[in-house]
Amino acid sequence: MYQTYRTPRGRGVFQRTRRGQGIVEYGAVLSFVALLIAVVFGTAQGSLANALSQSFSSISGALTTLNRASLNP
C-alpha cells in the first residue's frame, strides 16, 4: 500500500507503508484454507461425512460412559 505525501513544490513522493499488510495476509491464508476445505469435501464425496459421524458418535458414547461412571461410584 502506498500513500502520497505532498512536498512544498507540489510533487508527490511515494513511500511504502505496511498499514494494510496484515489484513491482506490474513485474507490470503483464509482463502487458502477455504479452498483446501472445498477440495477435501469435493474429493471425499460422502466418505468424510461417514467418518466424522462415526467419530462424533464414538466421542459421545465415551462421554456418556464417563458421565455414568462419575454419577455411580
Q: What is the pLDDT of residue 9?
A: 54
**22-62: per-residue pLDDT in tens?**
888 899 999 999 999 888 877 877 787 788 889 999 999 99
For the record, the C-alpha cell of 17 comes out as 507503508
C-alpha to C-alpha distance for 59 and 18, rounded to whole angstroms: 45
Backbone angles phi, psi at 17, to 5 degrees: -125, 155
The CA R_g of the chain, rounded to the nearest whole Å, is 27
What is the per-residue pLDDT for 2? 53
